[in-house]
Amino acid sequence: MRIDLREAAEILLNSDKILLLSHAHPDGDTLGSATALAHALSAKGKKIRVECSDPIPKDFNFMFENLVNDEFEPELIAAIDVADIKLLGKESEGKYQGRIGLCIDHHGSNMMYADNVCLEPDSASTAEMIYLLLKEIDAEITPQTASCLFTGVTTDTGCMRFSNTTARTFEIAAELAKLGADTYNIIQTFFETKTKTFAALERLALDSMRFYFSDRCAVICVTQDMYKRSGSDESEVDRLSNLPRQIEGVLVGVTMRELKDGNFKASVRTHGDIDASAICKRLSGGGHMGAAGCTLYGTKQQAINSLLKEIQAEIDAFVID
């Protein structure tokens, strides 16, 4: 059933033992939203546990400070920023299938796997929704909670640079700053600072950039060999996703990365009317209008070809020479 934020808040307030789930391969929004909710609900006396099937990257550790991960049999299982139950990771998917009572999310591609779904596809981040939910229940927003949410708000909008950014995004960001979010350090960490190994990977990735469809599409491909040569690894590769779309005139930017099993994951970023989620949906992936992803099988050339076919269809539909 589709529900609104007020109803989602009621469901949370009516449960005393709540398990919050973040998606595998976690990002700032799923973790920032889940931990903010955890801090606020703990302060209201609830027993809360945040679970993620993958290790937490060290930049997100601050979110978990002061959070007691209670052991209990949950009365409510809530998935936060998780569009598809598959995104919880294989093991968690099996474990929680049919048991998720609430989902709070902003992906238009949400698969409606939960009993109650609070979905706002126009919200730039789930963190914006959680901020409003916390306001709704008059929850305390500490500087740490504000920092968790500010991380979600900024990372899902590329620091307010993506087309999903709205006036509300800036308003909520300003409110979070007033509440004590550590804005300077969060922006430095997620948008400025890079490791030397990442800089080396970025150089190799830029070298791999190829253009298609009269330079309207740019593709970079990160291979396992590049990780070895740069000293980098999968944990840093997400930050490359926006690179191809930064080139002037490019409408569709693709970052492909080789997985350990030899298959490829593609991140698709688009401008204007070109729908990244439509491209990825046809390849069994999903996401948003401007940012989406999918997994591609086969050799590198097969993977690129199947993606280019879908991109061409989408470009042809919107671009008239």
Dist CA 200 CA 315 (whole Å) = 32
Q: Which of 29, 84, 120, 310 binds Mn ion (CB under 5 A)?
A: 29
Dist CA 266 CA 307 (whole Å) = 9
Q: Is 105 in the site for Mn ion (CB under 5 A)?
A: no
Dist CA 123 CA 107 (whole Å) = 9
CA 317 to chain centre: 27
Dig out the tokens for 257 from the structure.
């990365």
Q: Which of 84, 128, 156, 310 binds Mn ion (CB under 5 A)?
A: 156
Report residue 229: phi and psi, to 5°.
Answer: -70, -30
Q: Is 128 in the site for Mn ion (CB under 5 A)?
A: no
Q: Name the one range near Mn ion by CB under 5 A: 154-162, 177-185, 208-216, 305-313.
A: 154-162
Dig out the tokens for 137 from the structure.
């229940």
Considering the complex, what minimum distance in angstroms separates the CB of residue 4 from Mn ion? 18
CB count within 10 Å of CB 25 equals: 17
Q: H/E element holding 154?
A: helix 143-155
CA 34 to chain centre: 12
Q: Which of 9, 81, 119, 205 binds Mn ion (CB under 5 A)?
A: 81
Q: Is 202 in the site for Mn ion (CB under 5 A)?
A: no
71 DSSP β-pair partners: none
Q: Name the one range near Mn ion by CB under 5 A: 28-36, 174-182, 215-223, 231-239.
A: 28-36
Using the minimum distance from each CB to Mn ion, give the nearer residue, 12 or 34.
34
Using the minimum distance from each CB to Mn ion, give the nearer residue, 226 or 292.
292
Give residue number: closest CB to Mn ion. Answer: 29
Using the minimum distance from each CB to Mn ion, give the nearer residue, 22 or 126.
126
Q: Is 314 in the site for Mn ion (CB under 5 A)?
A: no
Q: Does residue 172 sit in helix, strand or coil?
A: helix
Considering the complex, what minimum distance in angstroms separates the CB of residue 28 from Mn ion? 8
**Binding positions for Mn ion, rule: CB under 5 A:** 29, 81, 126, 156
